[in-house]
Structure 1
């Protein structure tokens, strides 16, 4: 599946605003809602991501077609990374380990902001590193050397 990279930046911008709100309010409930957004994108795919649906319905028609598309796997992996940080942060806030909630939220915010402001997807880069260093799968027709 291919996705519009502008949608990923849009989602990262909304995520950044939500995470700033979490840091200001210290709200584990708001962070849990963001974790749900990450979970939907991670497990159901970017096609069902709430911020992506907003982009598709309200923003993309005003921008016109994209000049390029990108593979959905790296951004979907990035959503999973965001989910991990959001879950850890939610647990930190909910259990009264405020420093953990703040730290995990701040790291997720840094990654989201990099994508929103500069188009640099940290989770996507992590995906590429994981793929580079993961063992190669051989097809049935290949004979290992």
Structure 2
């Protein structure tokens, strides 16, 4: 017979007899781990829940109405100054062609955007690079609406000058000139105030 050591286990027989464990003190065999060394769980066991937080879903973009295009407020005032000079020349010369050109500038600013009008392009290329950044930006919709109002007055004045009704041309040009001068000299935009008033009435 061979002496038994402290951790002696009988070899399995050829008939597949179960193995016996004896540590010499009558203690039960050590417990078998639920998970093998490779880390895979045994059948019938569930994986532990992961404590890692799930990645946050991207938030949807705000609607276009709540995030309008912002512009440098000095640009419309620069355009108003040039408009004042042009309209003064129209009143002096009674030129329907010059007023028609100014009306086209109004229409470009209203329908294509302020940056696409000749005055807006000139400000962006020749003036703004020489200035410091603006303290704040403003919504582009009120100035564009004001350009549309100017286009209406310019169209009426052009029809008056070219049609022989100089009084109509002078009246429409004078009203447009007054609005442009207020914006250029004092930063007060009549067309912008009209836009705000219309929005308030529609939302009431």
Q: Is the 8 A contact 2:71 2:139 kept in 1?
A: yes
Number of aligned positions between the proteins: 136
Q: How far apart are 1:134 and its partner, in Å?
A: 1.1
| 1:54-73 to 2 correspondences below 5 Å | 54-73=122-141
1:20 pairs, out of 88, 94, 105, with 88
Q: Are the counterparts in 1 of residues 142 and 192 from structure 2 also a CA contact under 8 Å?
A: yes
Using the TM superposition, give the Cα deviation of residue 64 of structure 1 relative to its aligned residue in structure 2, in angstroms. 1.8
Q: CA deviation at 1:50?
A: 1.1
Structure 2 equivalent of residue 78 of structure 1: 146
**1:36 paired residue number:** 104
CA–CA distance in structure 2, aligned partners of residues 76 and 50 of structure 1 = 14
Q: TM-score, normalised by structure 1?
A: 0.92
Partners of 1:54 and 1:72 in 2: CA distance: 17
If asked which structure has higher relative contact order (CA below 8 Å, sep 6+), I would say: 1
Query: After TM superposition, which residue ranges in structure 1, 4 or more long, deviate above 6 angstroms?
Result: none
Q: Which has the larger radius of gyration?
A: 2
Return the alpha-carbon distance in structure 1 between the equivalents of residues 203 and 76 of structure 2: 29
Normalized against structure 2, the TM-score is what? 0.66
Q: Which has the higher helix share?
A: 1
Gapped regions of structure 1 (runs ≥ 5)? 137-145
What's the secondary structure of 1:29's corresponding residue? helix
Could you tell me how far apart the structure 1 residues matched to 2:112 and 2:176 are?
A: 21
Q: Deviations over 1:38-63 (max 9, x none)?
A: 01111111121110110010011111
Structure 2's unaligned 5+ residue stretches are: 1-68
Q: Partner of 2:114 in structure 1?
A: 46
Alignment-derived partner of residue 11 in structure 1? 79
Superposed CA deviations along residues 80-99 of structure 1, whole A, max 9, x for unmatched, are 00000000000000000000
- CA deviation profile, 1:73-125 (whole Å, cap 9, x unmatched): 00000000000000000000000000000000000000000000000000000
Alignment partners' CA distance in 2, 1:57 and 1:135: 38
